[in-house]
Structure formats: C-alpha cells, structure tokens
Amino acid sequence: MDERLASAIAHWAPRFTANGVTPADFARVTASVDTWPEWCAAWVAVGEQHEALGREALSEGRLRSGGEHLAQAAAYYHFAKFVFVEDVEQMKAAHARAVAAYTDALPHLDPPGRRVEIPFEDATLVAVVRTPPGDGPFPVVLMIPGLDSTKEEVCSTEQTFLDRGLATFSVDGPGQGEAEYAVKIRGDWGPVTEVLYDAIGREPDLDRDRLGVWGVSLGGYYSVRVMAALGDRATAGVSLAGPFSFGECWDGLPALTRDTFRVRSGTASDDAARTVASTLDLTEVAGDVTAPMLLVFGRKDRLIPYQQAEKVHAAVRGSELLMLAEANHGCADYSPWHRPRTADWLAGHLGGDVGDPAAPTHVASSVRAKAGV
C-alpha cells in the first residue's frame, strides 16, 4: 500500500462511515486497492451499485428508497473525488456523478430538498435547502463544508438540525464542490457572506432573522469569518474542527491535503499554496464576532492541532469550547458525543425544538422559553 493511500485510510475512515458509507463497503473498497491512483475508480464502481439500486427503486415507484439510495451513491462518488487532484478529469467525472445523483435524490428525501443557484462574481455558488415539516418560515442553519467536503457530504448532519425544527442551507463556497473549478479558495469570506445572506433572504420559507452558521474543518474557519461579517445579523454559530490560522498548520498537513489546497487555490507549487494558506487567518476578524459561538474540537486531531481551537476560543469573546479528548479531525469518530449536542445548542438559540419530539407543542415552547429563546 502506498503512502498516500495509507494516509487516506488512516485519516478518513470514521468520516466516511459517519457520512453515508457503510463499514462493510469501506472495508471492501479499501481492501481492493493497493495504490492511490486506483482510489477514484474503485469508489465510483461501488457508487454505481448504490445508484442502480436507487434508479430501480424510482422506476418501481419506491420513491423514499430511491432517494435514500441515490443520496448514498452521491456520498460514494464524492469520496471518490474528494482529494483526488492528481487526475483532474477523473475527479471531475466522479464529481459530476455525485451532483447528478444527489440532485435526483433531493425531491425524495425526508424531508425533501431543492437546489438554489447563487450568482457570485463571474461564477455560480450552489446550495441545497431543506426545511422541516410544518409551516415556515423556519429558523435556518447556513452549513459550510471544508476543503475537501461538499454539500453532498453533510446530509446526515443536516438531519440533526431538521429533526429539531431548523431548516438547512448547505452551500458549496469558493473552492468547494460545484464552485471549486471556477472560484478559488479565499481567506476573506466577507463578500461571500453578503451574497449568501441575500440568497437566504430570498427564500420565503427561511427566517433570516433566526440565522445560525455551522462549518466543519476549513468550513469551521469560514464559519467564524461569516459570523464576524454578519455581526448582529447572526443568531449563533458553530465551528467544528476549524483552525485559527491555516498557514500555521501547513507543515503538519498530509500531502493529499496540501495538494488539494494547492489545486483549489489555483497555485502551482507547495510554497505558493502555503502563501495562500497563510491568508486564512482569524487574527483581524475574530474580535468582530458578537453572537454566541460553540467551538467543537478533537484533542487528537492529526490535521489541525488542538491548540488552534484554544486560540479561536481566546479570540472569540464569550465562545464555548467543547474539546473531545479522544476525537480526531472533525470528530467523526465521536459523532454521538457532539452532533446531538451541537444541534440542541443551535436549536436552543434559534428557536427550534430541543425537547421530546413526541411532546405537545406547548411543551416544546416551554423548553425554548427555558433556553432563553
């Protein structure tokens, strides 16, 4: 097994299985490849099997199953391409299949979703909106993926918010997902924030006055940037595994992560990519965050040292820090220890249901009142 393949398996197994890949499939695919160049095709092949299950279910009128299978296939296609930058054309082909499968799944998810296309500079950002059952407008969580994640990967995290009465607005930002080929990674998300804030305001079933922000990994960095740019327009935010300064982490990053950043930042060398990475820094903006923030981090993070979370905590006034002693990057290996708690925390601030889902409405309202909403 070559070094890059071993690195991918060692770093990302919990992330895959927490976000749509079955443990059996993970074991089956990773056992079938010996070198990194085989990675993408192997995951696409298994993704095709799940997509076939979805297409068959749709043709038979089993729409719920069809949506579930296609969303799972999208996750497999996504993980085929997530850091596979050595063959960009193969990566793009797998990505296109992820987008197509997920787009076809959206109407049949529970609850369903819809695509929203947002003009940005000379390109387009794409988001997926999902709303809980009932009458809106709903409080909404802007969800921001990381360097190598996309809106197709956060479906299971969305569900924790939807179950608590919160809508989700999951976006591929600059350098991410559908925007990664036309818009490069940037440290300053001020202009991005304004475009997304306006887009959320155009959706009649979303209540922009009850706006939360959630981001993972590099998206955790962006979430702090967005909170700073929004000021008092934001209600609450969560940063999961986000760095204070990405440049400070550069030397400890795996080669696959550095290569991915290099491609998505539009740079030609590792040194040039490091220069761009140094612009992803919260020093000048962390003090501008005025709404509550919850920071979640794993002390055994092998990509972003846990001291980065402590720096964010010190710089963002009034922030809360949940440090999981045994968790790795993104805390996917300890999902039950943070996902429900994060969802409850945001629901408490935004006005979602943090109590018993079977309880009468007045009980849920009472819980919200006790949470200070």
Q: Which of 296, 215, 217, 291 is nearest to 249 (CA)?
A: 217
pLDDT at position 359, please? 54
pLDDT at position 189, please? 97
pLDDT at position 2, please? 86
Beta strands per DSSP E along 24-137: 113-120, 123-130
356 neighbors 344 (Cβ within 8 angstroms): no
* Superfamily name and number for 1-109: acylaminoacyl peptidase (1.20.1440.110)
Strands across the sheet containing 113-120? 113-120, 123-130, 167-172, 138-144, 206-216, 236-240, 293-298, 320-324
- Annotated catalytic residue, options 217, 245, 319, 335: 217
How many angstroms separate the Cα of 287 from the Cα of each of 39, 227, 229, 283, 317?
Answer: 42, 10, 11, 8, 7
SS3 201: helix
pLDDT tens string, the chain, 373 residues long: the values are 788 899 888 888 999 999 999 999 999 999 999 999 999 999 999 999 999 999 999 999 999 999 999 999 999 999 999 999 999 999 999 999 999 999 999 999 999 999 999 999 999 999 999 999 999 999 999 999 999 999 999 999 999 999 999 999 999 999 999 999 999 999 999 999 999 999 999 999 999 999 999 999 999 999 999 999 999 999 999 999 999 999 999 999 999 999 999 999 999 999 999 999 999 999 999 999 999 999 999 999 999 999 999 999 999 999 999 999 999 999 999 999 999 999 999 999 999 988 766 654 433 333 333 333 3
For domain 111-370, give the CATH number. 3.40.50.1820
Query: Known catalytic residue: 217?
Result: yes
Measured CA to CA, the distance from residue 181 to residue 11 in angstroms comes to 25
Domain residue limits, the chain = 1-109, 111-370
Indicate the pTM of the whole model: 0.94
293 neighbors 239 (Cβ within 8 angstroms): yes
Write out the two tokens for 280. Answer: 């992803």
Calculate ∠ Cα 221-225-228, nearest 5°.
140
SS3 40: helix
